[in-house]
Structure 1
Amino acid sequence: MNAKILLFFVVASAAAQRRPYAYRAPESSEESYESTEAKYNFNWAVSDDSSSNEFGHQEARDGDDTQGSYYVQLPDGRLQTVKYFVDGDSGYVAEVSYQGEARFPDSYESFESREYRPPRPVYG
């Protein structure tokens, strides 16, 4: 009986010493990392003659100064070009322009229909 009481007090004492779970902020590391200024320049383009698809992008960055442009051939035949730069607190500033005139084929049919048709059955 004395052994059971002794064991009870040992377990109770260990449980009382356990600290309750609490969130603590992570300890700061003494390591310091040097900040390097971003500096890059890239350019790529795609021109697919079979589909008349053309698009590309170029951008240059030196520290906080970022400038670039991208272009895409639209389905209506126009070339859309977006020139942009990042202006400090104003953020991303873009200028959009179009070259060419929109063309639509005479036999252009919309995939959308205004009348309801039940779906056709598909047999495996």
Structure 2
Amino acid sequence: MVQKLIILSALVAAASAVAVLPGPGYPGLGLPALPALPALPALTKIAAPVLPAYTKYAAPLAIAKVAAPEPYDPNPQYSFSYDVHDGSTGDVKSQQEQRSGDVVQGAYSLIEPDGTRRIVEYVADPVHGFNAVVRREPIAVKAVAPVAKILAPAPLLSAPVLAKAIPAISALPGLPALSALPGLGHAPLAASIYHG
């Protein structure tokens, strides 16, 4: 649109332009007359060029993808089960469940810390909701052995340090003997410092 306006303005300015040609002179002002210019051919009006029409294109719009509806299963069905029997931790549990349509049935069991087995059987449907029956059964052998509690760590007893006996070192020339230094006259201490 701006380009069309600029082109139109340029055409209007060119069409309304006036050529100033030298005339016979200005005798009242004392100016000499200018030489006459040769005659110009008659100007014909030229129609404005026809420009191709510009079509505005909008930026492509982001089209949101509509997720296809998931296929509807009027009678969904599944079944699963698992068992855990870990002898090192004493973890013993199991679960099983199945679904047919809108009815889910299942059961799970586990060994509680007191040694009983808890069994939960449940049914869920749209009419009655979720209903569970909990039972406890004693088991013959306790599955989890009690862990001994440690009240305090055992005291650390230090064993006597046995030093390796080395022969007495005689004084080197220019140095006093170890026994001559205060506090170092004991052989076990000297042996513990100079051990090999």
- TM-score category of the 2 structures, normalised to the smaller one: 0.5 to 0.7
| 2:118 is aligned with 1:80 | yes
Q: Which runs of 5+ in 1 are unaligned?
A: 1-28, 110-124
**Matched residues, number:** 80
Q: Please identify runs of 4+ aligned residues in structure 1 that moved more than 3 A.
A: 29-34
TM-score (norm 1): 0.53
Q: Which runs of 5+ in 2 are unaligned?
A: 1-65, 150-196
Partner residue, 2:99: 61
Distance across 2 between alignment mates of 1:31 and 1:43: 32
- Percent identity of the aligned residues? 28
| 2:96 is aligned with 1:96 | no
- One-letter code of the match for 1:34? P
Distance across 2 between alignment mates of 1:31 and 1:52: 48
Distance across 2 between alignment mates of 1:44 and 1:30: 35
Partner residue, 2:79: 41
Query: Whose RCO is larger (CA < 8 A, sep 6+)?
Result: 1
CA positional deviation for 1:31 = 5.2
Bigger strand share: 1
Return the index of the structure with the highest Cα Rg: 2
Mark the CA change 1:52 to 1:30 in structure 2 (over 3 Å): closer, same or farther. closer
- When the two chains are superposed, the root-mean-square deviation of aligned CA atoms in Å is 3.1
Deviations 1:1-37 (A, max 9, x none): xxxxxxxxxxxxxxxxxxxxxxxxxxxx695543113
